[in-house]
A and B are shown apart, each in its own frame.
Chain A
Amino acid sequence: MYVCSSPHLRDNCTTTKIMLDVIIALLPAVVAGIWFFGYRAAVVILVTVITAVAAEYLMRKGLKRDNTISDLSAVVTGLLLALNLPPAIPLWIAAVGAVIAIVIVKQLFGGLGQNFMNPALGARAILVAAWASSMTTWTQPFGETVTTTATATPAADAVASATPLAALKEGIYGIYSYGDLFWGNIAGCIGETSAFAILLGFVYLLVKGVISWHIPVIFTATTAVMTWMLGPDGMFTGDPLYHVLSGGLLLGAVFMATDYVTCPVTKTGAAIYAFGCGLLTALFRLYGSMPEGVSFAIILMNVVTPLIDRHTIPASFGGERNVG
């Protein structure tokens, strides 16, 4: 007879099922991206997902470790990377990004559960540094590709395809309505345009119990309050709603900042982390040289996570907290 230590009963939730739920939650954003940016967006998504899975398979084989592609985490990474890329990104750059995410950020640090920052965001940061112009070439929904960068002088034709945040950075107001921002009829990364699609995914993740509301809500609220407070015309003159609906904030808050591996585990830790993400995002957006700062804010807080964890060990039931 088989003997082992209790419990002898396990829940039927598995890592693969959780990853599958994340993929399902991302589908509205994927569909929105393809709807607004056409087949090119679909091709980018396919390239990153296939490259990520292939890189995971080959890397594990090369390291003589067990095969882990069936846990679907590489699919999630590939998908998240694509959603954080501009639709017109050269496909080879997208593929390089997927390899960086899996090989360098994830597997070299020990694979699933061991990476110290979100693989997709880590890769995105490297791509932004290496191919700045390709990473900031945006496409107008249903339209042509026009190059604008944060540092370019605003020209009449360029304004039409600037991302909402780039426009804001250059002091241009009123080219996008809240409706455009909410439904996603704006230039931007493939997955970040439609707030509506991201919120659908958020609700799905909440209902399935994959994530709790804490990180997305505290993150978004902090950015909203900070951008409102530090407005262009003095205290409390900002436009928080515009900031919340623009750029990668919602995508980042719902899908990237909540990455289990790189965020704190306790509620207290998560609150500190989400507040940090929100604060840094607002500061980067308002005072940085680039219009967007969500991914860098999250990466920075990812790195601080072990520190937060170490100082938020809770008191046990009925006990007192250890100090230090």
Chain B
Amino acid sequence: MLLINKLFAGGVAVPHRKNTAEMETVVMDTPSKVIIPMAQHSGPPCRPTVKKGDIVKVGQLIGDSDAYISAPIHSSVSGIVKRVEPMLYASGHLVISVEIEADNKQELSEDIKAPSVNNREQFIEAIRGSGLVGLGGAGFPSHVKLNPPKDKKIDYLIINGAECEPYITSDYRECIEFAPYIIKGIQLVLDMLEIPRAIIGIEDNKPKAISLLKEKSKNDSRISVYSLRSRYPQGAEKTLIYTVTGRKVPPGKLPADVGCLVFNVNSISFMAKYVETGIPLIKKRVTVDGPVVREPKNVEVLIGTSIGDVFEFSGGFLSKPYKVLMGGPMMGIAQYSLETSVIKNTNAILAFDKNEGDLPPETPCIRCGRCVAACPMNLLPHEINRFVMAGRYNELDKFHILDCIECGSCSYVCPAKRHLVQSIRLGKDAVRRNAKKA
């Protein structure tokens, strides 16, 4: 078993703060209501298949789409549909959502039965039916990933357990609590898609997860477990692929173009569970942490539960939260309301006080080059920042602005505290708009 892996260039040493690592997942009670948004994946949103007044059961289909890049959405509770209308979404937009008042009986839908999975087509169809999307954060529909173009031969199935964001321990808990399912899921995909090898990549700050998965996979020579250097953004898809295979995904290309298929540990484990039970994706493990959370913990939450309810379940706040994040501190989205719902790819909700949540003021760039050294995509963030702030959008292409993965390493290291990745997002948007116009 090959255990040496490459080190990706750049990145930053972020603090780990994995306070909840050894906290076993606790199941949260059914909330009184859930609000389930119809856009929980990349691609066009689903259209609701229920209307106000309908009685729904757990696991029942409530949203679907004809678009290929999409994933169906299921009810996480049994109860009655109260509203179907645009509601506040984690991104800050309004998104058509289904509000269901729970009856607390949690009756399972009659449609639920374990799918029969005997070949590739059945497997992909089953995964589409499960509503699975990439649980690591991107939310890309898994059935699309499992179905790469026929001319792309996949050599490696890569399982992402890097979890390089501070605070979050949701992937780690999956490794510790459901290691056998992770291995089963891997074997399922290897068999169904006829992929020769699988590599599980985990950062070396999680030695227990590494040794456990090594132990569980020792009878399957196709599976290797790699201990990766703990360095942000180790878990970014392109850096992970490079680290474990030495292959570089070119700009604008997909992992399948270099013979790789990447799934988060939670996603692969879910596949095994789904094939066993047929219960679609209706719940999610969420790390609840941050300095103002009274009892940080890992919570199994029904999708659609408001983050306010989840914080309440974690003992509430020690003081008024200054900033609340959905996701980790490096890439998470700040929330302005506690009404937003936990969705399929939510892996953490964090609450910060002013001390931790405030940003220092910007000062002039001194061209120190720390952002350049930190950029895992080999870009020049300080130059892009300069051009964006000057409004020179049509010159941004030469700096490869669209190749930015928005990991935030540049802003993290900047001694002048400049809003580098933030301005790059602005620039990317302008470049895309210009391209559309042309």
Contact = CB atoms under 8 A, between A and B. Distances in A.
A9 B378 contact: no
Interface string A1-44: 11111111111011101100000000000000000000000000
Interface in B328-369: 329-337, 352, 357-360, 363-369
B195 interface: no
A73 B366 CA distance: 10
Chain A contact surface mostly: loop
A247 B414 CA distance: 35
A232 interface: no
Contacts of B279: none
B82 interface: no
Contacts of B304: none
Interface residues of B, number: 65
Contacts of B238: 317-318
Chain B contact surface mostly: loop
Given A3-B92, A10-B360, A316 B379 contact: yes
Contacts of A315: 378, 400
Interface stretch (A108-116, A162-170, A249-257): A108-116
Interface in B371-429: 372, 376-380, 382-383, 398-400, 403, 406, 408, 411-417, 419, 421-422, 425
Interface string A284-321: 00000000000000000000000001000111111100
Given A3-B334, A10-B411, A15-B415, A266 B366 contact: no
B332 A317 contact: no
A200 B24 CA distance: 51
Given A15-B415, A317-B238, A318-B251, A2 B380 contact: no
A5 B238 CA distance: 22
B323 interface: yes
Interface string A69-98: 001010000000000000000000000000
Contact of B369 (A17, A114, A265): A265
A313 B369 CA distance: 13
A5 B336 CA distance: 12
Interface in B5-35: 12, 14-15
Contact of A2 (B15, B358, B368, B415): B358
Contacts of B369: 260, 265-266
Contacts of B323: 1-4, 8
A2 B356 CA distance: 11
Interface in B163-203: 166
A8 B413 contact: no
A313 B14 contact: no
A179 B214 CA distance: 59
Interface of B: 12, 14-15, 92, 166, 238, 242, 248-251, 253, 321-325, 327, 329-337, 352, 357-360, 363-370, 372, 376-380, 382-383, 398-400, 403, 406, 408, 411-417, 419, 421-422, 425
Given A9-B15, A317-B248, 19 more contacts: A1-B335, A1-B337, A2-B322, A3-B334, A5-B422, A6-B329, A6-B331, A7-B329, A9-B412, A10-B359, A13-B415, A14-B417, A71-B363, A260-B367, A261-B366, A261-B367, A265-B380, A318-B249, A319-B250
